[in-house]
A and B are shown apart, each in its own frame.
Chain A
Amino acid sequence: DAGVTQSPTHLIKTRGQQVTLRCSPKSGHDTVSWYQQALGQGPQFIFQYYEEEERQRGNFPDRFSGHQFPNYSSELNVNALLLGDSALYLCASSSSIQETQYFGPGTRLLVL
């Protein structure tokens, strides 16, 4: 049983560009959450998707958007990249009937 997978593992972009990160949830999970982890910090909640809709959102600007597909996989899009967007982006999946979120290995984004 595959766990949460994310792609790509690493990415380098320049300021102003746009990026799309992808996540496939653990089998049997229907909810996907995205987090940003800056260097030396704990993960910060970006948003959560359930039933193909954004259910909750943290304190992130509209440049951060997402999508969930019918197979429960999800994308995180970031427009107009800033240097401060450089971070490890973590995807976590969970089931709507249990509390634990399981994390993928993350995508490390570097904005130059």
Chain B
Amino acid sequence: AQSVAQPEDQVNVAEGNPLTVKCTYSVSGNPYLFWYVQYPNRGLQFLLKYITGDNLVKGSYGFEAEFNKSQTSFHLKKPSALVSDSALYFCAVRDTIRRDDKIIFGKGTRLHILP
């Protein structure tokens, strides 16, 4: 069965510094990987996805993520953090081996950008 781990409950970064939010996954076949962001009392907003191809994918609001198959990781990154990036971030995976459309989410990482 597929699973996602976000090892950090919270990440604190000073504004202007680079940020990384970690994610590792487990699937039977090849993964589809996603990052979503959630602001207070809101639904989830899609940031980016990896399906195939280039291991570095770029998404909304200057975020990017790097797919590493050997380490089964998909860490979210941004070169220069903004205070407005403070939110709850979810990594998610879908297993392609059975064309299973179910998406499994991690428990989330709260990102605090300090002014």
Selected contact of B44 from candidates A56, A94, A103, A108, CB within 8 Å: A103
- Give B79 Cβ to nearest chain A Cβ, in Å: 24
With A90-B44, A100-B46, A106-B43 in contact, is A43–B90 under 8 Å at CB?
yes
With A33-B101, A48-B101, A48-B102 in contact, is A99–B43 under 8 Å at CB?
no
Q: Is the CB of B43 within 8 A of A45?
A: no
Query: Is there a chain A Cβ closer than 8 Å to B77's Cβ?
Result: no
With A55-B101, A56-B100, A103-B36 in contact, is A43–B49 under 8 Å at CB?
no
- A43 CA to B103 CA, complexed, in Å: 9
Residues of B within 8 A of A103 (CB): 36, 43-46
- Give A37 Cβ to nearest chain B Cβ, in Å: 9
B side interface size, CB within 8 A: 23
Query: Is there a chain A Cβ closer than 8 Å to B51's Cβ?
Result: yes
Residues of B within 8 A of A104 (CB): 43
Q: A33, A90, A103: which has the most chain B beta carbons within 10 Å? A: A103
Residues of B within 8 A of A65 (CB): none
Residues of A within 8 A of B44 (CB): 43, 90, 92, 103
